Amino acid sequence: MKVVLQNLTKIFPSRDKKAGGEVVAVNDFTFEIPDGKLIGLLGPSGCGKSTTLYMISGLQKPTSGKIFFGEDDVTTLATESRGIGLVFQNYALYPHMTVKQNILFPLENLKGKDKLTKTEMQERALEVAKLVQIDELMDRKPSELSGGQQQRVAIARALVKMPRVLLLDEPLSNLDARLRLQTREEIRRIQKETGITTIFVTHDQEEAMSISDMIVVMKLGVLQQIGKPQDVYDDPVNLFVAKFLGTPPINVLEGRIANGKICVGDAAIGEAAGVEDQDIYIGIRPEGFELDANGALECKLSNVEVMGRDVSIVSTHEASLNPVIRSIIDADNKIDLSAETVRFNIKPHKLFVFNKETEKRIYW
């Protein structure tokens, strides 16, 4: 089921009338989520991810704009009638019920033509339990399960009604690192197997990048960029997106364009033919550095961290906005650890230039 958001906006009135200051949680969102895809809705805390998801679910009413499931306008439709499955950060299972009863619960409330027989319900519950691999745990209570298992029950419960759209709001945040990794792969597998259009909300860029067909990057209620994870990483439209994606994060330096050259201090580290002279921010991905004794960018060498296949050279430069510059290079490179400085050439496709005032990307 394709999901379309059209000029979707949510404004929360100020809690304190005198102080004023309403919150525009979601500001004029327009985008289309293709049928059967997994979309990662990504941005820092407070940028409006949950609000967007709640509007799609019907739990919150938009201030303006429209939501379509396929060709159906569902903007004013009640949550129960939308055919969605919801999973939240805290799993919210019924503690006094067994796993099986938790999964059956949404089916027992089906009315009219959707009503199922007892046998049908049992079959359906077992089917989703198998899908999320908890069919051995059906008679346990939630308190007898690990966090990861509880979250699987919550996913099974969201899937049992065969939703048209699956909505996941930071579903992995309560899990430890290893389980988070495992469960996110699990979610991806389940999504692929069922083909249900899924929106996955997270503030964790690595999580979103690793499982999404497409990511939507948000900042303060405003959509910044939408695209395949790799495309957004390789081609960020502004400094915010460039900084938000990638571990280790992008290195940002102050610089300027002068005579079509990208300059850090006196050093020309790249070409920007035809671009007007101006002050800029320069973003360089950690993998964008090449060691070269005659390289254009000279940095003070602080440390070299061995990471196996690669090494991370930690250095400093007065134009850098980050406390250190982190570059990742192949471990085969010989680095003179006793040297005071290290010189790099910068790979042109790993270097981005942003206008200093608007922080928008400058293209040439």
**Positions in the binding site for Mg ion (CB under 5 A):** 50
Nearest residue (CB) to ligand ADP, 199 versus 262: 199
Distance CA 150, CA 163 (A): 20
Q: Which stretch binds ligand ADP (CB under 6 A): 38-46, 72-80, 92-100, 330-338?
A: 38-46
Confirm or reject binding of residue 50 to ligand ADP (CB under 6 A): yes
Instruction: Let me know the angle formed at the C-alpha of 324 by 211 and 46, rounded to the nearest 5 degrees.
Output: 45
363 is a contact residue toward ligand ADP (CB under 6 A): no
The one segment of 39-47, 86-94, 176-184, 298-306 that binds ligand ADP by CB under 6 A = 39-47
Rounded alpha-carbon distances, angstroms, from residue 201 to 11, 65, 222: 20, 21, 15
Rounded least distance, CB 169 to Mg ion, Å:
6
Residue 330 is which amino acid? D
DSSP per-residue letters across 224-251: EEEE-HHHHHHS-SBHHHHHHS-SSPPE
Least distance (Å) between residue 50 CB and ligand ADP: 3
Q: Which does 23 bind (CB under 5 to 8 A by kind): Mg ion, ligand ADP, none?
A: ligand ADP
- Among residues 4, 25, 103, 311, which is the contact residue for ligand ADP, using CB under 6 A? 25
Q: Which of 27, 28, 46, 298 binds ligand ADP (CB under 6 A)?
A: 46
Q: Give me the amino acid identity at 144.
A: E
Query: Shortest Cβ distance from residue 11 to ligand ADP (Å)?
Result: 9
* Residue 48 binding ligand ADP, by CB under 6 A: yes
In single-letter form, the type of residue at position 124 comes to R
Residue number, 49 or 124, with CB nearest to ligand ADP: 49
- Residue 23 binds to ligand ADP (criterion: CB under 6 A): yes
Binding flag, residue 148, ligand ADP (CB under 6 A)? no
Residue 149 binds which of ligand ADP, Mg ion, none (CB < 5-8 A, kind-dependent): none
Rounded to the nearest 10 degrees, the angle between the axes of helix 118-131 and helix 177-194 is: 130
- Which tokens sit at 104? 């059956």
Q: Please name the residue ranges forming H helices in 98-217.
A: 99-108, 118-131, 147-159, 177-194, 205-211
What residues between 2 and 21 interact with ligand ADP by CB under 6 A? 12
Task: From the list Mg ion, ligand ADP, none, pick the one residue 119 interacts with, judged by a Cβ distance below 5 to 8 Å according to partner type.
Answer: none
Judged by beta carbon distances under 5 to 8 A according to partner kind, the member of ligand ADP, Mg ion, none in contact with residue 25 is ligand ADP
Q: Which of residues 248-267 bind ligand ADP (CB under 6 A)?
A: none
Count of residues touching ligand ADP (by CB under 6 A):
11
State which residue, 140 or 203, has the beta carbon closest to Mg ion.
203
Which partner, ligand ADP, Mg ion, none, binds residue 171 by CB below 5 to 8 Å per kind? none
SS3 256: strand
Provide the CA 159 distance to its chain's centre, in angstroms: 22
Measured CA to CA, the distance from residue 182 to residue 137 in angstroms comes to 18
**Residues binding ligand ADP (CB under 6 A):** 12, 23, 25, 43, 45-51
